[in-house]
Amino acid sequence: MTPILILFFRIHPVTAVGTDLLYASVTKAGGTAVHGFNRTVDWRLVGFLALGSVPATALTIAALYLLHIDSRASQLLITRALGVALLLTAISLVLRKQLARWATGRISDRDPRLTRRLTILTGAVLGVLVSLSSVGAGAIGVTALVLLYPEMDSRRIVGSDIAHAVPLTLVAGAGHLFLGSINLHVLASLLAGSLPAIVIMSAVGARTPDPVLRVALACVLVLVCARFWFLG
């Protein structure tokens, strides 16, 4: 969504990120409700992630405030962070299953306290990345959780990642709202179009092979990533 807003609608990168964050908080809340109803959310895991992501998000928003949200430095920082996040997301989409196979049997005997600390650190990294780019709470978060919890059911990993995205994007979006980098008209338009589309395309996506979706999306993300690195 953020690349579309920047590249096609010529919205300022900071405003595009902030608007997408609040948009994501609404749409992720719906997904969390479904996963919560189906008992596919590990709330303890969500708490560990949020323990790292919420403070990191607050510090990142403070840094943007100190840099001045409309400055050239802020725009450059966000476009570069967005390029990195899109590239990492593409890699995560393509290599997730290979990484999961590698992690199985190698990480299961890790000290639970170390895993807990790494989970909090993962949340912190996601907090910075998402606050700067609005990207990373999905594919990158899921891939990190697959590596940290290789024996956990994939539905619980996805559900927990979506649940964690709600406070993460809400706090980051609220920070951008405080900074004045939200376009409420665009936000309302996005929600009006996306909420019905989510229902329709969920049925279509369920009939499309997962490898086809992942590879196609990864290719698009790599191309968009290259475009952001060459933004003036």
Please say whether the beta carbons of 175 and 17 come within 8 A: no
Predicted confidence at residue 202, as pLDDT, reads: 56
**Residue count of the chain:** 232
Please say whether the beta carbons of 7 and 227 come within 8 A: yes
Tens-place pLDDT, residues 58-91? 999 999 888 887 667 777 788 788 888 878 887 8
What percentage of the chain has pLDDT greater than the value 90?
30
Whole-prediction pTM = 0.79
Higher pLDDT, 61 or 1: 61
Q: Which of 68-72, 137-141, 177-181, 205-209 has the lowest mean pLDDT?
A: 205-209
Q: How far separated are the first and last CA of the chain, in Å rounded?
A: 20
Please say whether the beta carbons of 167 and 36 come within 8 A: no
For residue 2, give both structure tokens.
């953020």
Which residue type does 157 have? I
Distance CA 185, CA 173 (A): 15
